[in-house]
């Protein structure tokens, strides 16, 4: 008997989603903004106590909480993220990837989502985040 294929569901990490977009900015510019207070508020939500240090915990204004797991400067960030209504945390990875001269791919990947509905919601969320970043970087 074979398992039924479900979009976005993996054997090991449950449901996951990923979105990415290429922006006409340098890797350093993308990293600097994504790790700034303003940038973090866009992709994680406002969190006064958020420190980009491995092992640091946070509580976002929307009620989600988590822990910083990985910070590789100019490469990626991994944090856990758990809204109050979820029974276990998901993992968010933010990556910046060089793409030619003065272009950078910004990628958001989230795994360990509870179900297909959460996957759809987070796919919409991450697409809105990329749209908001596009608006910020177009204004500069």
Note the pLDDT tens digit of each residue in 41-58. 999 998 878 899 999 999
Task: Map out the domains of the chain as residue ranges.
Answer: 9-139
> In the β-sheet with 90-98, what is the strand arrangement from edge to edge?
9-10, 14-23, 104-113, 90-98, 76-81, 65-72, 57-59
pLDDT score of 100 more than 90: no
Task: Kindly give, in sequence order, each residue whose CB lies less than 8 Å from that of residue 91, ignoring residues fewer than 6 positions away.
Answer: 13, 69, 78, 79, 80, 81, 110, 111, 112
- The pLDDT of 29-37, averaged and rounded, is 96
How far is it, in rounded angstroms, from Cα 120 to Cα 16?
Answer: 10
Helix (H) or strand (E) holding 125: helix 116-139
Mapped onto helix, strand or coil, the DSSP state of residue 36 is coil
What percent of the chain is predicted at pLDDT more than 90?
78
How far is it, in rounded angstroms, from Cα 91 to Cα 79?
Answer: 6
- The pLDDT of 5-26, averaged and rounded, is 81
In this predicted structure, what is the pLDDT of residue 1?
43
- The pLDDT of 124-134, averaged and rounded, is 97
How far is it, in rounded angstroms, from Cα 27 to Cα 106?
Answer: 9
Q: What are the tens digits of pLDDT across the range 102-120?
A: 899 999 999 999 999 999 9
Q: What angle is formed at CA 79 by the lines to CA 73 and CA 80, rounded to 5 degrees? A: 170
The CATH superfamily holding the domain 9-139 is START domain (3.30.530.20)
pLDDT band for 10, please (50, 70, 90 cuts).
low
pLDDT band for 4, please (50, 70, 90 cuts).
low
What average pLDDT does the chain have?
91
In this predicted structure, what is the pLDDT of residue 48?
78
């Amino acid at each position: 008997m074979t398992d039924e294929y479900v979009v976005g569901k993996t054997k090991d990490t449950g449901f996951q989603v990923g979105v990415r977009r290429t922006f006409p900015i340098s890797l350093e510019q993308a990293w600097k903004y994504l790790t700034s207070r303003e940038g973090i508020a866009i992709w994680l939500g406002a969190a006064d106590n958020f420190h980009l240090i491995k092992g640091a915990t946070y509580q976002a204004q929307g009620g989600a909480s988590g822990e910083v797991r990985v910070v590789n400067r100019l490469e990626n960030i991994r944090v856990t993220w758990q809204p109050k209504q979820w029974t276990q945390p998901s993992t968010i990875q933010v990556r910046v990837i060089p793409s030619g001269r003065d272009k950078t791919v910004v990628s958001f990947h989230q795994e360990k989502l509870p179900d297909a509905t959460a996957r759809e919601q987070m796919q919409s969320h991450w697409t809105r985040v990329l749209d908001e970043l596009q608006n910020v970087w177009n204004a500069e």
